[in-house]
Amino acid sequence: MGSPVDRSFDFIVVGAGTAGCALAARLSEPGANVLLLEAGGEARSPWIKIPVGYAKLLGDPRYNWMYRTEPETALGGRVLDVPCGRTLGGTGAINGLIHIRGHAADYDGWRDAGNHGWGYADVLSWFRHSEANVRGASEYHGADGPLAVSDPRPDTLSNAFVDAAVEAGLPRNEDFNGATQDGAGFYQLNTLRGTRASSAGAYLAPARGRASLAVQTDALVHRILFDGDRAIGVEYAHRGRVLRARATKIVLSAGAFNSPQLLLRSGIGPASQLHAHDIPVVADSPGVGDNLHNHYRASVIVRCRPGLSLNELTQSFGARVGMALAYIFARRGPLATGTSAGGFFRSDAARDRPDIQVTFWNYSVAKRDARGLELHDFPAYTANAVILRPRSRGSLRLASRDPAAAPLIRYNHLDHPEDRHAIAAGLALVRRIVAMPSLAKLSDGELAPGVVLSNENDLIDYAREHGNSVYHPVGTCRMGVDERAVVDPQLRVRGVRGLRVADASIMPTIIAGNTNAPTLMIAERAAAWMLAER
């Protein structure tokens, strides 16, 4: 296809992340002319393909927007790093690979809030449609979709965690994306023969030879162009030039930070905020940037017997060489898999569904810096307690009209008292599992929070000081039927025509689990609607 400047398109997709790559591929299948714009570059780093390579990419501005929060009041003024993928594949190119849909009740809650067609029975077929599951086709799984879903090869510590959870009286679950979510088990992962499987590789790569698809990297979209209330194109920067492209329909898939930013820069948002930045109002949409929320975690770190932890393998030159050779020649070993063990649990029996997720790591992090993660120099493992249904809500605001300026991000983690209670209950649950024989016999003392911290207030204080986001931002372009909703149940931006948002930003409430698979489902639904309207 020729230069994007030279022609008009049927569709422009802004953002080549998990959703955008799928949208561009699906929309161009029947021959519609599609332009996909991505602010980042090609995914050239070898660490992107290696499942544990994300630890090396969290501090790399070539592949990460490197956003940070404003000081978090409920966390004592701490400023949190906010990883956000900036390359083909988006955050799906630098995430932890866990393939989780969430709980059926999450989607039924969306439906019951007025979002017709978003109940679990409605979206299940789209989940199946997207996946190529190693377990084959079934009521809950698809085998013929683009994205690989594989089973992990658990290590000794991960197996011990699952056994310990069962010893603690919790059920064993063979499929977190099956009939029930409760219990401990092994996560399925987006890997294919020991390499990362992302939307960029699964959807976009096979489509890039189509004459109907143009992919432009290093293209930062400044604003959406309008004729009255109809979106007619975009203005973007590419290698020092400011260019324009036109289309019949435009869809934003830039994620929970960049999609609302682009709406605001284009004149869609709270009128008072737009006026403050001298941005002409196209549509006064008060909910743009509100409803930001995310999962929050706090960790129990335990020393363990020698020979079990990934920590040791990173300290020894010989072990590092062995890991590299195992990966290069067999796509096996520690480099070939991500987080494998964990579970979904109820902090008390009265709850109707899990409110705590646990992710188990066979390593422990000493510090995070611009180079990524640095592990402890002694053997240890980590069990993370994650709040699945946070009540705290934050916001995203423009810092300036400058398209290159980072937004003002406020999560307000642990602002709501129920979240503080939940994180303390989650840490207590993790400690109960760790104390069971299967793990206790491999352990050598709790490092953090430390046994002297035992009551709820102690654990809350620990979570404030040492907890972190789980990098699942959602909600800033909320789907709904009320006046503060940003998009309607078919993801059309309210107040204008010809414009949709299709990414994690549209989630009214966060799902109970990792957000990559639900984001892909959202893209599949949006593509079907857009093609039906063509």
Active site residues: 472
User: Residues 419, 391: contact at Cβ < 8 Å?
Assistant: yes
Distance CA(518)–CA(387), nearest Å, equals: 18
β-pairing verdict for 341-345 and 183-186: antiparallel
- Orientation angle between helical segments 18-28 and 516-533, nearest 10 degrees: 30
Encoded tokens for 184: 């401990």
CA distances to 104, 125, 160, 167, 482 from 119, in Å: 8, 11, 36, 35, 18
β-pairing verdict for 213-216 and 34-37: parallel
| Helix (H/G/I), strand (E/B), else coil: 523 | helix
Question: SS3 string of 247-281?
Answer: EEEEEECCHHHHHHHHHHHCCEECHHHHHHCCCCC
User: Residues 310, 375: contact at Cβ < 8 Å?
Assistant: yes
Distance CA(89)–CA(85), nearest Å, equals: 8
Distance CA(512)–CA(524), nearest Å, equals: 20
Q: Which residues have C-beta within 8 Å of that of residue 285, sequence separation ≥ 6?
A: 263, 268, 269, 270, 486, 493, 494, 495
DSSP secondary-structure letter at 334? G
Q: Which residues have C-beta within 8 Å of that of residue 228, sequence separation ≥ 6?
A: none
Tell me which amino acid residue 403 is: P
Helix (H), strand (E) at residue 312 = helix 310-315
Distance CA(322)–CA(195), nearest Å, equals: 18
